[in-house]
Amino acid sequence: MGAEGEARAEGRQPMVQGLVTAIQANFCQVSLEIPGPGGLEQLLCTRRSRLGQAGARIHVGDRVGLEGIDWPAGRAAVGDLLPRTSLLGRPPVANCDRIVVVIAMAEPEPDPEQLSRFLLTAEHSGQPVEVVFSKADLVPPDQLESWRQRVRSWGYDPIAVSTASGDGLAHLKERLAQRGIAVVCGPSGVGKSSLLNALVPALALRVGTVSGRLRRGRHTTRHVELFPLAPGALIADTPGFNRPELPRDPAVLPALFPEIAAALRDGPCRFSNCRHRGDPGCRVGTAWDRYPYYAEGLAELQLASAAALETRPQRPPSGPSRRRQRQQEPDLG
């Protein structure tokens, strides 16, 4: 007996489940796992206050159980938050299955270090990462090829696309049309929204002009929203931000470079705490394209974690002096 049968035998309604595709103010749009009467695919839902009290925040990508369904009105309430497999921080997207990093070949000029940072953030999610070279129409083929070779040496197989000519779009769609949620990220102005418009039929996302400082934010994508790319495949546009943060812990940095992982596949470095900075017996070495980014990133993170240790408040003494100390603290409320 399936879950539905069991629920019926116990006299309960089988739980209707769906996936949150958008959130705005107190409402969320939920796409139903099984279409409702009349083939209804989406419901506009409120969130039960007890969900909020329990501290459960619902994000786009979450699977939820619905109650109080009003089919004719297309309304319901989210009663349950189902367990998630992952949660991206910025933007918040639950249950993401792959990340697509988009970098333009021109307008704006590609910045390899910026691309690298996006890739590190994407790798930090633990999900598979795809690289897209957008605006391929703006550069000659040899320039495209040299970027392709370079990023291949980083461990990726980039797809060049152009929404202007349509080149590469079918190939990209094929690669992304897998079950699950793909999140598109990258600097602002590289053509993420244009790409989604080209990939998802009947979508009309706002596309910005490449904005100068003053116009930044006027045409940006403000909310994360999931769109159907293929049966079972969803894709999210995200607001552009230009310098993603590295993960806090310097120890996780090496694992975010496919080049390092590849070098260590045949065996470890001589010292188990090797930082891969030209140390004796290091298998990774320093003769690889992104080594300077790795070394700088490591230094940046080590400095930040040392600074964090220094400014960490001293353990307050116990007893009366502790109370006094607390009174001296400024009231931040």
Ligand X SMILES: Nc1nc2c(ncn2[C@@H]2O[C@H](COP(=O)(O)OP(=O)(O)O)[C@@H](O)[C@H]2O)c(=O)[nH]1
Figure out which of the listed residues 119, 269, 298, 301 binds Zn ion, where binding follows CB under 5 A. Answer: 269
Nearer to Zn ion, 98 or 276 (CB): 276
In whole angstroms, the minimum distance from the beta carbon of 221 to Mg ion comes to: 4
The residue of the chain with the least Cβ separation from ligand X equals 191
Figure out which of the listed residues 16, 159, 163, 173 binds ligand X, where binding follows CB under 6 A. Answer: 163
Q: Which stretch binds ligand X (CB under 6 A): 51-59, 141-149, 156-164, 291-299?
A: 156-164
**Strands 233-237 and 16-24, bridge-based pairing:** unpaired
Q: Which stretch binds ligand X (CB under 6 A): 86-94, 160-168, 175-183, 300-308?
A: 160-168
Of residues 174 through 203, those in contact with ligand X by CB under 6 A are 188-194
* Integer Cα distance of 221 and 27 in angstroms: 19
Structural tokens at position 69:
């369904």
Figure out which of the listed residues 47, 117, 276, 290 binds Zn ion, where binding follows CB under 5 A. Answer: 276
Helices (H) and strands (E) in the chain, counts: 9, 13
Range 9-12, long-range pairs (CB < 8 A, 24+ positions): none
Q: Cα–Cα distances in Å, from 68 out to 9, 19, 21, 172?
A: 20, 17, 19, 40
Figure out which of the listed residues 15, 44, 56, 164 binds ligand X, where binding follows CB under 6 A. Answer: 164
Asked if 284 is part of the footprint of Zn ion (rule: CB under 5 A), the reply reads yes
Figure out which of the listed residues 100, 184, 221, 298 binds Mg ion, where binding follows CB under 5 A. Answer: 221
Asked if 193 is part of the footprint of Mg ion (rule: CB under 5 A), the reply reads yes
> By the 8 A CB rule, do 298 and 286 touch?
no
* Helix locations, the chain, DSSP H: 3-9, 49-53, 112-124, 141-153, 169-176, 192-199, 258-263, 291-311, 320-328
Asked if 238 is part of the footprint of Mg ion (rule: CB under 5 A), the reply reads no
Residues that bind ligand X (CB under 6 A): 134-135, 137-138, 162-164, 188-194, 207-210, 240
